[in-house]
Structure formats: C-alpha cells, structure tokens
Amino acid sequence: MDSDGHVHNAVHLRYLEETRINVFRERGGLAGACVVAQMDIDYVKPLRYRPDPVRVETWLSKLGGSSFTLVQEIRDEDVLYSTATCTLVAFDTVNQRSRPLQDEERAMLEELSA
C-alpha cells in the first residue's frame, strides 16, 4: 500500500504473475520453463486497499512458435483497475535459449483464447 492507501503498482504485477501461475497449474502446467520477454501495464484507476478481492481475467491474444501473449485485467464487475499484456517465451534452461512450444502446451494455451 502506498501513502495514499492505494495498492502499490508493483503489487499489480504480483497479482498478474500469481494468476498466470494458477492458470497454468489448473490446466496441468507447461511442459517446460517459460520466461517473461515483455510486460506492458496500464494503470487505469487506482485500486484502494480493501479487504475484498479483485478479479484477474486472463486470455490468450497471440500464439507463436515459441512465444505467446496473454492479456490480463485486474478488475471488479464494473471497474477496470489495470490492464496488461505479457509476452512469454518457452525456454530451454540447459541451452539458455528459446525452444518451440510443444503440442500439449499449444493445446493448453489455445483453451485460453478469447
């Protein structure tokens, strides 16, 4: 929380990350590692500190050979607090480079299509 009683902007990023982790876990996970290649976030309206949860919606906007892009919104029913676009790349941790998405990963990601 910042000095004005708002949820700090870095916390928005944590909410988005936790949601991505849960979305993948609920669907059986990715076959290998993924890294965030780019993250863009627009803070639309201040989110005041409160005990009530907010909703984070997540959907796939682009699917490539080794990367994919998710759009996420932090919101209530009628209020949008922030919107983000996150590009992730499937990553080979041994060779330290991108790797092609596997068929099962692609199928899982396609379930998130808008």
Tell me: the pLDDT tens digits for 14-38? 999 999 999 999 999 898 899 999 9
Report if residue 1 sits inside a domain. no
Report if residue 91 sits inside a domain. yes
Number of compact structural domains in the chain: 1
Give DSSP secondary structure letters for 28-69.
Answer: T--SSEEEEEEEEEEE-S--B--SS--EEEEEEEEE-SSEEE
Here the CATH number for the domain that contains residue 28 is 3.10.129.10
Domain hosting 59: range is 9-110
Question: pLDDT confidence of 8, banded at 50, 70, 90?
Answer: confident
Q: What is the pTM of this model?
A: 0.92
Q: Which of 41, 34, 48, 45 is nearest to 79 (CA)?
A: 45
88 in Cβ contact with 42 (< 8 Å): no
Report if residue 29 sits inside a domain. yes
Report if residue 4 sits inside a domain. no
